[in-house]
């Protein structure tokens, strides 16, 4: 009788362990398979976005006049090439910190540009410059000509954001730049500054788009000296990382199959060979 009870307890114990193992394996397989599927969807999203941007880039180049419309009507134009003329509001330049380019860390240089013949201002992502790690508060010396300049680039969304702790940022060096807050800040500062007689006072900052400069600018005012700004413009390509997503997806699916294989081996094949 005692022997029958011990055998029953053993069978119950084995069944309980098998049940726990079955649940754990099922959860593991479902989780890894879902993560693999998520990586595939991310790759598909990037490929679709890249195809859309490629199509936009093949469209005719936009001009400054094309930008003189509400921000909401400009979003469908993101990705288009643009050539715009205007004057720099150099005193409002912002340096976005911790931005990498070609394996080095530095700043993205952002300067507002007042579009010629208008009161509209667009933030231009001018390029990248390395930072001085010995004097972290030192600002790079960026050549910004006065007068009217013409630059080429592409219409993009607001500057990319990094993780931060929230709260409004001020000063020349920032982690992120919120265009809506920056527009309010810019407007309050401009009211206190004298403006050139030949230009209308800047009145509105574009808050849903910016311009990513892709080539050296041209100075149209012959009376102003021009010096190249020395900024790098090897901007990240949208489709970069697609292969990485496929690689991660393969790893997750392989892990899922491995768990299934181990479960079948230890629960069915190995006990059978042991009894034989």
Q: For the residues of 54-106, what is the DSSP string, one character each?
A: HHHHTSPPEEGGGG-S-HHHHGGGTT-EEEEEEEE-GGG-EEEEEEEETTEEE
- Above 50 in pLDDT, residue 173? yes
66/263 Cα distance (integer angstroms): 62
Average pLDDT of 13-32?
A: 81
Lowest mean pLDDT among 30-39, 139-148, 184-193: 184-193
Report DSSP state, residue 233: -
Average pLDDT of 184-203?
A: 68
Q: Supply the pLDDT for residue 128.
A: 95
Say which residues have a Cβ less than 8 Å from residue 42's Cβ, sequence separation at least 6: 245
Say which residues have a Cβ less than 8 Å from residue 203's Cβ, sequence separation at least 6: 119, 120, 121, 187
Q: Supply the pLDDT for residue 189.
A: 79
Tell me the angle at which helices 2-57 and 242-264 cross, rounded to the nearest 10 degrees.
170
Mean of the per-residue pLDDT values for the chain?
Answer: 83
The residue to which tokens 């010629």 are assigned: 116
Average pLDDT of 18-44?
A: 90
Q: What angle do CA 23, 39, 239 make, to 5 degrees?
A: 175
107: buried, middle or exposed (CB in 10 Å: 19+, 13-18, 0-12)? buried
Confidence (pTM): 0.72
Q: Among residues 247, 32, 212, which one has the least CA distance to residue 110?
A: 212
Give the length of the chain: 276
User: CB count, 10 Å around CB of 65?
Assistant: 12
SS3 1: coil
Q: Supply the pLDDT for residue 63.
A: 92
- Above 80 in pLDDT, residue 206? yes
Q: Supply the pLDDT for residue 210.
A: 95
50: buried, middle or exposed (CB in 10 Å: 19+, 13-18, 0-12)? middle
pLDDT band at 197 (very low <50, low <70, confident <90, very high): very low
Compute CA distances 202 → 17, 83, 121, 166, 196, whole Å.
72, 20, 6, 28, 11
Lowest mean pLDDT among 99-113, 190-204, 256-270: 190-204
Average pLDDT of 22-32?
A: 91
């Amino acid at each position: 009788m005692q022997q029958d009870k011990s055998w029953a307890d053993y069978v119950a114990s084995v069944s309980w362990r098998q049940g726990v193992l079955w649940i754990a394996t099922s959860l593991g397989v479902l989780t890894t398979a879902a993560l693999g599927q998520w990586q595939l969807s991310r790759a598909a999203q990037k490929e679709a976005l890249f195809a859309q941007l490629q199509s936009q880039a093949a469209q005719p180049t936009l001009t400054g006049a094309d930008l003189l419309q509400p921000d909401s009507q400009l979003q469908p134009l993101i990705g288009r090439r643009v050539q715009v003329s205007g004057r720099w509001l150099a005193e409002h330049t912002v340096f976005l910190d911790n931005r990498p380019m070609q394996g080095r860390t530095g700043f993205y240089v952002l300067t507002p540009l007042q579009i010629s013949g208008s009161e509209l201002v667009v933030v231009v992502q001018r390029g990248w410059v390395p930072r001085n790690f010995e004097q972290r508060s030192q600002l790079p010396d960026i050549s910004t000509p006065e007068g009217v300049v013409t630059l080429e680039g592409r219409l993009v969304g607001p500057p990319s954001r990094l993780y931060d702790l929230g709260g409004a940022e001020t000063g020349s060096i920032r982690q992120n730049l919120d265009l809506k807050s920056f527009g309010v800040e810019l407007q309050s500062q401009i009211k206190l500054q004298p403006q050139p007689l030949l230009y209308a006072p800047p009145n509105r900052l574009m808050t849903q788009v910016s311009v990513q400069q892709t080539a050296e600018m041209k100075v149209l005012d012959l009376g102003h000296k021009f010096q190249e700004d020395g900024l790098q413009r090897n901007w990240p390509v949208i489709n970069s990382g697609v292969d990485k997503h496929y690689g991660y997806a393969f790893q997750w699916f392989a892990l899922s199959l491995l768990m299934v294989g181990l479960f079948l081996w230890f629960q069915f094949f190995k006990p059978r060979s042991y009894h034989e």
